[in-house]
Chain A
Amino acid sequence: MRGYLPDCDIRVPDSLAAALDLLAREPGVWTPFAGGTDLMVVYNAGRLKATRFLDLSRLSELRGIQEDETSLAFGSLTTYTEIRECRAVHQHFPNLVKSARVTGALAIQNRGTLGGNIVNASPAADTPPSLLAYGAELELVSPRGLRRVAYDRFHLGYKRMDLAADELVARIILPKPTGRSFHYFRKVGTRQAQAIAKVSLAAHARIEDGHLAALWIGLGSVAPAPVRARNAEAALIGKPLAALPIEAAREALLGDMSPIDDIRASAHYRSVVTQNVLGHMLRDLAGA
């Protein structure tokens, strides 16, 4: 254990207002701390710069999954286990359940939160591709009030986000799919469980009259942050399921990725395998 404990401090506000107050009074000083499954790893390795933490875990305002007619709203403290156990999520957002199920293993799923996964902003994170594929919106809260941003505009670059120092992610809102829809999620990890993604792809489509009326594709591990595959989407939208331009879509996908070599996989592997996974998804879709 290499973190230097004596330097550390953690505050436990008991209301959202108190938490926001502390954040606003000393901007950039207090690091939000949810399940700690990202922060503690870096701390234990002695590589965490932050030493002052703001424990969010007692903030009931950030908990729970609320359903209304058109959407599901996830408190940012929603854990993977809560996602796995929620019927409405299974019903409307099966990709998100799959993402949750392949995140780490059970002990991580019990502690890790959706908000933490988003703000940790790892390009390899597992829920962001699904959130992108479902057109998620984030509700951010600060002493200045609430604001909403579309999740596909939230990540600005490697670990850079549209999130001010005094803001917290409050809720993640997913509009319920309508009509006939198709869902696909695949993670290619370093092993079958307790694995970091080398490639991941989530897709959600609306099918009308045998055609692809709408399509959202989210990619992980192939860019500095989770990204939408807008080029591939454009190549496919409006096309009949019976004659999907698979080769053209694969080609277009290259324009959506900027993978790098790292310890887990080469850039070449990432780009070829993402194309193959897209191909796999489209074969599934054609059969849908």
Chain B
Amino acid sequence: MIGASSNRKEGRAKVSGTACYTDDKFVPGAIHGVTVRSQVPRGILKGIHFDDGMPWSEFTIVTAADIPGKNCVASVVHDQPFLVGIGEEITHMEQPVVLLAHPDRHLAEKARNAVRLEVEELPAILDIQASLGLEQVIYGADNLLKEIRIQKGDPETVWDQAAHVIEGEYRTGAQEQMYLETNAMVAVVEQAAAETRVTVWGSLQCPYYVHTALKQLFGLPDDRVRVVAMEMGGAFGGKEDYPSVNGGHAALLAWKSGKPVKLVYDREEDLACTTKRHPSRTRLKTAFDAEGQLLAIAIDFVIDGGAYATMSPVVLSRGALHAAGVYRCPHVQVHARAVATNTPPPGAFRGFGAPQSLFAMERHMDVCARKLGLDPVGLRRKNFLRRGDTMATGQVIREDLDLGGLMDRALDEIGYRDKRAAFALTNEEDGPIKRGVGFSVFMHGCGFTGSGESYLASVAGVEGLADGSVSILAASTEMGQGKNTVFSQIVAEALKLPYEMVDVAEVDTDRVPNSGPTVASRSTMMVGRILEDAAIGFKQSLVQQGFLQEPYTADSFRAGVRQAVATLGSVKCYGQYHKPADIAWDDATYQGDAYPTYSWACYAAEVAVDLDIYEVKVEEFVTVQEVGRVVNPRLAGGQIEGGVAQGIGWGLWEEVTTQQGRMINNQMTNYIIPTSADLPRIKVVFLENAHPAGPGGAKGIGELPMDGPAPALLNALVDALGPLRLDEVPMTPDRLMDRCEEVSHG
């Protein structure tokens, strides 16, 4: 079962149009919510005015003053209000201030423009530089949302003695997840006998995050809040923390009106208000000996965290932990900061900080190779991590790791050496088309950072149903990545049952335990492992209670389960995360095993640049990765291909253009994601190396493919065009033209 390309469980519903996404849910009597937002980057809210001419008495209106519990979105740091109250500070352009709802959705939309906010404006901080320079203090004493230091050895002792010291600065822009389904929520609040019960159905990755947020918002105990994950039209991290905000908003309107509420963002609102990938700036200083051996790395990594902390501390942490890349180095220092700005808070997006810092490192290695007179392959090969080496946090590589072999495989697949030689000749010719090949080598830590998994202590279970089949109980959500299918395969394998006999239960907090958030490429490896335990426990208890005898067939198993359910009413077995004994992490010092294991990869790209128009065409893209045992090759391949497409988009086209911190290209026509005509076929190679932590030896794959494309593409561009200052993504045609002109104008 594990290793088979089983068909997606919900595939039939998806191709038939019957899969039910949030806005598809038919809710009789629902009223439609809209959000009135600040429209200034910073200021004090002085008043709220409702224009004449609108039948306001027909509207449900919610302001901060109405909030029954705490006006604060539960998150890593509790700093973000659901709604800004009068006298309070507005901290970005899209801050929610008033919620409106009306039975007529057209009128609700119209009313949004009939609310005027009176604001005393304050000077705003709009980028990393202004925030670090403390032009205004907008957060805490120093504008820092989070600061992390990682230290191994002492680079300061190395700079003077090293044969070469090479410095560089790299930048990455914000990126929009652009899931095809915008954020959407349906809420119902029942109030009976002085008891309030809140239910929210939504497009959300982490039901228990929303559950916690709603409890705090309404001051309710666990059992009065219910969150149900609907079919989800993509998320990529974009529905990790934001649903706590709009889920809360929908619930507030439902509570105040006593009616069901639909709150569905249109694309413009979704783009302008919801989270993005954090913009970053990385300064790297590296020392090498005369042979090109890496002696020291100092990294100054800064991300723009927006107006509230939201996920920034965790994104920063992952970025910092990946910043030194896949290289062995005795002296490493990482100084990482997330700074506050008056912009809508960024959040989680596939990769979670790692693509930013890895872009810098993998671009920098090519820059260094050139400066050292080595080729990018040779320089990397000299410095790769191997079994027994220690990473920056002191984590020892305990697995067999052959990055050289991985790299060679990718380079062979794309024909690196032959192509470089051929292009070196053809690029000398007159025409506008120049070609190049480039690559990147990188890793992605699987599961939560540091002690995250121990802290979560996730639970998942297996239940027998009356018809004798098996149902999986977990709060992990399906966003297209294939969780329903992969979980079913894992449990079917553990129980030695046909795949068709296992399915997942609806993700409803009344029904499924907290298996943790569906993030960090953790579902297959972490939750899958717990399910494996739960399945074995389930079978053993059936055997112990005499419902099942081993060996069994599918039919005898089904009969046993049927009988058990008939006799006992319900049969369930839960498993819980156990920290492996050989893993240790210290949050205070950032020392230890940052992740239980890593997935490793080398991605290679061939590009053709047209110097008449500065357009870059990706001609070929090869991915070689070691991700442990692959549970479902076809679904895994789809994850890699989709991630690479997003990585190519981030590297070349996807730019969030802002004015006063607000996205102004907030339409699909102006935020350029790749169409089918923009991408090559993406070659996917899995090298399997089973890892004990995951089920059947699986590691994580969801985020890995986001890390490699951007540096591989820019390295390929340098190969095509010579040493340009390609230190930033996206490398749009405009930007590429500027960089070419820097060289030609000297």
A residues neighboring B (CB under 8 Å): 1-6, 45-46, 105, 188, 190-196, 198-199, 263-266, 268-269, 272-273, 276-277, 279-280
Interface of chain B, main secondary structure: loop
| Contact present for A194 and B675 (CB under 8 Å) | yes
Known: A5-B106, A264-B670. A192 touches B675 (CB 8 A): yes
A to B CB contacts below 8 Å, 26 in the list:
A4-B109, A4-B110, A6-B106, A6-B107, A45-B667, A46-B109, A188-B613, A190-B653, A191-B653, A191-B678, A192-B678, A193-B675, A193-B677, A194-B675, A199-B613, A263-B657, A263-B670, A264-B670, A265-B734, A268-B737, A269-B733, A272-B737, A273-B613, A273-B737, A276-B611, A277-B613
Residues of B within 8 A of A6 (CB): 106-107
Q: CB-defined interface of B305-347 with A at 8 Å, one 1/0 digit per residue?
A: 0000000000000000000000000000000000000000000
Q: How far is the CA of A235 from the CA of B734 in the complex (A)?
A: 28
Interface contact A191-B674, CB-CB below 8 Å = yes
Tell me if B669 is interfacial: C-beta within 8 Å of chain A.
yes
Taking A3-B106, A191-B678, A193-B676 as known contacts, 6 extra A-B pairs with beta carbons closer than 8 A to each other, sorted by chain A number, are A2-B109, A2-B268, A191-B653, A263-B665, A266-B734, A279-B612
Across the two chains, which residue of chain B brings its CB closest to A273? B613
Instruction: Specify which chain B residues have a CB less than 8 angstroms from the CB of A3 in the assembled complex.
Output: 106
Closest to B668 in A: A194
**Complex: how many Å from CA A45 to CA B674?**
23
Q: Is the CB of B268 within 8 A of A273?
A: no
Residues facing A in B667-700 (CB within 8 A) are: 667, 669-670, 672, 674-678
- CA A112 to CA B670, docked complex, whole Å: 20
Tell whether, in the assembled complex, residue B106 and residue A269 are in contact, meaning their CB atoms are under 8 Å apart. Answer: no
Q: How far is the CA of A277 from the CA of B611 in the complex (A)?
A: 10
Taking a contact as CB atoms closer than 8 A, the residue among B612, B667, B669 that contacts A277 in the complex is B612
- Is B266 engaged at the interface, CB distance under 8 Å to the other chain? yes
Quick one: closest B residue to A186, CB to CB?
A: B613
Q: Tell me the bound Cα distance from A193 to B673 in angstroms.
A: 11
**Which B residues lie within 8 Å of A5 (CB)?**
106
How far apart sit A65 and B222, CA to CA, in the bound complex (Å)?
A: 69
Given known A-B contacts A193-B678, A266-B734, A273-B613, A1 and B670 have beta carbons under 8 A apart: no
B615 within 8 A of A: yes
Given contacts A45-B268, A276-B612, contact A191 B675 (CB under 8 A): yes
Q: Which residues of A contact B67 (CB under 8 A)?
A: none
> A23: shortest Cβ distance to chain B, in Å?
27
- For B678, the chain A residues whose CB sits under 8 A away are 191-193
Which of B665, B674, B675, B734 is close to A269, meaning CB atoms less than 8 Å apart?
A: B734
B266 pairs with A273, CB closer than 8 A: no
Give CA–CA (A46, B669) in the complex, Å.
16
- Given the known inter-chain contacts A199-B613, A266-B734, please indicate yes or no for A192 contacting B677, CB distance below 8 A: yes
Indicate if the CB atoms of B613 and A196 lie closer than 8 Å: no
The 0/1 profile, CB within 8 Å of A marked 1, for residues 420-460 of chain B is 00000000000010000000000000000000000000000
In this complex, the member of A4, A192, A196 whose beta carbon has the largest number of chain B beta carbons within 10 angstroms is: A192
Interchain nearest-CB distance for B157 vs A (Å) = 46
A residues in contact with B613, CB < 8 Å: 188, 199, 273, 276-277
B664 at the interface (CB under 8 A from A): yes
Query: Is the Cβ of B737 less than 8 Å from the Cβ of A196?
Result: no
Complex Cα distance, B107 from A62, in Å, reads 37
Contacting residues, chain B, for A193 (C-beta < 8 A): 675-678
Compute how far the CA of A158 lies from the CA of B110 in the bound complex, rounded to whole angstroms: 29
User: Does B664 contact A263, Cβ atoms closer than 8 Å?
Assistant: yes
A188: which B residues are within 8 A, CB to CB? 613, 615
From known contacts A263-B670, A273-B614, infer whether A191 and B733 are also in contact, taking CB-CB under 8 Å: no
CB distance from A169 to the nearest CB of B (A): 25
Q: Which residues of A contact B674 (CB under 8 A)?
A: 191
Q: Are A190 and B266 in contact, with the CB atoms below 8 A? A: no
B675 / chain A contacts, CB cutoff of 8 Å: 105, 191-194
Most B C-beta atoms less than 10 A away, residue of A45, A198, A199, A264 = A264
Closest to A272 in B: B737
Chain A proximity of B269: nearest CB distance (Å): 9
Residues of B within 8 A of A268 (CB): 737
How many angstroms between the C-alpha atoms of A6 and B653 in the bound complex?
A: 39
Give Cα A272–Cα B665 distance, bound, in whole angstroms: 24
A124 and B678 CA atoms in complex are apart in Å by 21
Whole-angstrom distance between the alpha carbons of A268 and B736 in the complex? 13
Closest chain A residue, CB of each to CB of B612: A276
- A226–B611 alpha-carbon span in the complex (Å): 25
| B106 nearest CB across to chain A (Å) | 5
Q: A1-B266, A192-B675, A193-B677 are in contact. Are A280 and B106 (CB under 8 A)?
A: no
Which parts of B471-487 form the interface with A (CB within 8 Å)? none
Contact with A along B681-722 (1 / 0, CB 8 A): 000000000000000000000000000000000000000000
Give the residue name and chain of the A residue nearest to B105 (CB).
A1
Q: Given A4-B106, A191-B672, A191-B678, does the pair A273, B612 have CB atoms closer than 8 Å?
A: yes
**Would you give the shortest CB distance from A5 to chain B, in whole angstroms?**
5
Q: Are B612 and A191 in contact (CB under 8 A)?
A: no
CA distance A230 to B537 in the complex (A): 82
**Nearest-neighbor residue (CB-CB) of B268 within chain A:** A45
Complex CA gap A78/B323 in Å reads: 56
Out of A1, A190, A196, A280, name the residue touching B612 (CB < 8 Å): A280
User: Closest CB of chain B to A114's CB: distance in Å?
Assistant: 21
* Complexed CA–CA distance, A3 and B612 (Å): 41
| B634 CB to nearest A CB, Å | 27
- Would you give the shortest CB distance from A122 to chain B, in whole angstroms? 12
Contact status A280-B653, CB under 8 Å = no
Least Cβ distance of B681 to chain A in Å?
15
Chain B residues closer than 8 Å to A269, beta-carbon distance: 614, 733-734, 737
Q: Of A46, A190, A280, which is within 8 A of B432 by CB?
A: A280
Residues of chain B with a CB closer than 8 A to A280's CB: 432, 612
A190 near B734: Cβ-Cβ < 8 Å: no
Minimal beta-carbon separation of B263 from chain A (angstroms): 14
Is A191 touching B268 in the complex (CB atoms < 8 A)?
no
Bound CA span A267–B197, Å: 57
A6 to B614, alpha carbons, bound, how many Å?
47
Tell me the complex Cα distance, A152–B109, Å: 41
Q: Which of B266, B612, B615, B737 has the most CB of A within 10 A?
A: B612
- What is the CA–CA distance of A268 and B667 in the complex, to the nearest angstrom? 24
Report the separation of the CA atoms of residues A191 and B667 in the bound assembly, to the nearest whole angstrom.
15
Using a CB-CB cutoff of 8 Å, which residues 83-141 of chain B contact chain A? 105-107, 109-110
Smallest CB gap from A261: residue in B: B734
CA of A276 to CA of B399, assembled, Å: 53
A1: chain B residues within 8 A (beta carbon): 105, 109, 266
CB distance from A184 to the nearest CB of B (A): 13
What is the minimal beta-carbon distance from A196 to any residue of chain B, in angstroms? 6
Question: Which residues from chain A contact B266 at a C-beta distance below 8 Å?
Answer: 1-2
| Nearest 9 CB-CB pairings of A with B | A192-B677, A276-B612, A193-B677, A269-B734, A188-B613, A263-B665, A193-B675, A192-B678, A5-B106
Q: Chain A residues near B733: list those with CB within 8 A.
A: 198, 265, 269, 273
Chain B residues contacting A4 (CB-CB under 8 Å) are 106, 109-110
Which of B653, B669, B734 touches A196 (beta carbons < 8 Å)? B669
Q: How far is the CA of A190 from the CA of B673 in the complex (A)?
A: 10
Complex CA–CA separation, A193 to B672 (angstroms): 11
Chain A residues whose C-beta falls within 8 Å of the C-beta of B109 in the assembled complex: 1-2, 4, 46
Whole-angstrom distance between the alpha carbons of A2 and B272 in the complex? 15
C-alpha gap A2/B105 in the complex (Å): 9
Residue of B whose beta carbon sits closest to that of A278: B612
Residues of B within 8 Å of A266, CB to CB, are: 734
Q: Are B110 and A190 in contact (CB under 8 A)?
A: no
A195 to chain B, nearest CB (A): 8
- Name which residue of chain A comes closest to B106, CB basis: A5
* Contact yes or no, A191 B677, CB < 8 A: yes
Which A residues lie within 8 Å of B676 (CB)? 193
| Residues of the B chain whose Cβ atoms lie less than 8 Å from the Cβ of A273 | 612-614, 733, 737
